[in-house]
Amino acid sequence: MNSISIPISEYQRLTKELELLRNSDLLLKMNHLIDLLFQDKYGLYMSDYTDDLTEYTINKNWTNETSVWDRIL
């Protein structure tokens, strides 16, 4: 078996970090906090659904530019 040696303080820090990452409740709360901060800063609610933003962006760019067919006439 291969082994490495690290200082005890480093090992304790890594085990504490691992415990935090395994805590799914904490991760859910952090994701919710990030959503709230993003909404507060930009006035948008992103969540997991972004299809409406894609559609809005395409429609906005489509109406702002004239097509090749419009320039021919």
Q: State how far the Cα of 15 lies from the Cα of 26, in Å rounded to an integer.
A: 16
Residue 7's pLDDT is what? 93
Question: Which sign, positive or negative, has the C-alpha torsion 6, 7, 8, 10?
Answer: negative
Q: Is residue 39 part of a domain?
A: yes
Q: Is residue 2 part of a domain?
A: no
Q: Is residue 21 part of a domain?
A: yes
Residue 50's pLDDT is what? 58
Range of the domain at 68: 8-72
pTM: 0.38
pLDDT of the chain, 73 residues: tens digit per residue: 788 899 999 999 999 988 888 888 888 888 888 888 887 777 666 555 556 666 666 666 666 666 666 667 5
Residue 12's pLDDT is what? 94
Q: State how far the Cα of 49 lies from the Cα of 37, in Å rounded to an integer.
A: 17
Q: Is residue 3 part of a domain?
A: no
**Domains: count for the chain:** 1
Q: Is residue 1 part of a domain?
A: no
Q: Is residue 38 part of a domain?
A: yes
